[in-house]
C-alpha cells in the first residue's frame, strides 16, 4: 500500500503551502532528510506530523492536491 505524507521545503514559512510526497520504507522524516520529491516534483526537506485528511488538503499546493486526488481515485476505481 502506498503511504503519503504532507511535507515542506527547506524555505517554508508559516504562509507556505504544504506538499505531499510518497513515503519510502524509511517512513516519515520529521527532522529532515526527505528521500523523495513531492507529487508536484519539488524537492522537499521534511515531513509534517499531520494526518492526510480532506480538511488538511486545503493547506496543500494545487498540483500536489490534484496528483493525490488522481492517485487515490486510481486506487479506489482502478479502471478510471
Number of folded domains that form the chain: 1
pLDDT at 80: 47
- Give which of 41, 53, 72 is closest to 5, Cα–Cα: 53
pTM of the entire predicted model: 0.88
* Model confidence at 47: pLDDT above 90: yes
Per the CB < 8 A criterion, the answer to whether 34 and 7 are in contact is yes
pLDDT, tens only, 17-44: 999 999 999 999 999 999 999 999 999 9
Domain that holds residue 63: 4-76
Amino acid at each position: 500500500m502506498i503511504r503519503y505524507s504532507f511535507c515542506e521545503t527547506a524555505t517554508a514559512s508559516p504562509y507556505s503551502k504544504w506538499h505531499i510526497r510518497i513515503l519510502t520504507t524509511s517512513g516519515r522524516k520529521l527532522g529532515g532528510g526527505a528521500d523523495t520529491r513531492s507529487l508536484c516534483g519539488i524537492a522537499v526537506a521534511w515531513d509534517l506530523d499531520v494526518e492526510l485528511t480532506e480538511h488538511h488538503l486545503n493547506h496543500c499546493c494545487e498540483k500536489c492536491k490534484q496528483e493525490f486526488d488522481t492517485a487515490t481515485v486510481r486506487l479506489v476505481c482502478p479502471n478510471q
